[in-house]
Amino acid sequence: MQCPYCQYTDSRVLESRSTEAGQSIRRRRECLQCRHRFTTYERLEFVPVTVIKQDSRREYFDRSKLLRGIIHACQKTGLTPDTLESIVDEIESQLQTRSLREITTAEIGELVLRELRPLSEVAYIRFASVYRQFQGIRDFVDTLHQLNEVRSQESEVANLAETAEAPRSIRLG
């Protein structure tokens, strides 16, 4: 493994651990020449998924590009880097289990929004504004109304579930 600092090709492994639900191995390494420490990841090589862009161009799915977009939308929202990594892991896993090897950017955007909605409304709106290419305040307001409707529906479902599970008093006599 080549050192990212001095490009020396020999290093020693200090620590290895499984990450991403066993989908990769994280290794902490130390360069034998300059003694800098760095981290590498070993991942299973998946069958490539092709992303169809809005202008009909095709490119391979790029995990790091998706992660950068999510990180940008989630700045200062309190979501941890581990949470953001797990979102990308979940989406990548969903893409790998699909029978189709092509997906549109719109479908990927919807997958991200589905993951962000329960975690952070601010991150959801930020990501939606870029991914859906909001043109003005009306787009923000419409999305906020949709988000509010979904939250109201979820609240009603939770209330119904609580009511159904509540013990009923039985009158004798």
State the Cα–Cα distance between residues 121 and 113, nearest whole angstrom: 10
| pTM listed for this prediction | 0.63
Instruction: Give the torsion through C-alpha atoms of 69, 70, 71, 77, to 10 deg.
Output: 140
State the Cα–Cα distance between residues 146 and 128, nearest whole angstrom: 12
Closest CA to 88 of 29, 28, 41: 41
152: Cα within 13 Å, side-chain hemisphere: 6
**The pLDDT value given to residue 165:** 64
Helix 81-97 / helix 105-116 crossing angle, nearest 10 deg: 130
**One pLDDT digit (tens) per residue for the chain, 173 residues:** 899 999 999 999 999 998 766 778 999 999 999 999 999 988 776 778 999 998 999 999 999 999 999 999 999 999 999 999 999 989 998 998 888 889 999 999 999 999 999 999 899 899 988 878 888 888 888 888 888 888 777 777 777 767 666 555 555 65
Q: Which tokens hold the place of 32? A: 């034998």
**The pLDDT value given to residue 51:** 95
State the Cα–Cα distance between residues 126 and 26, nearest whole angstrom: 31
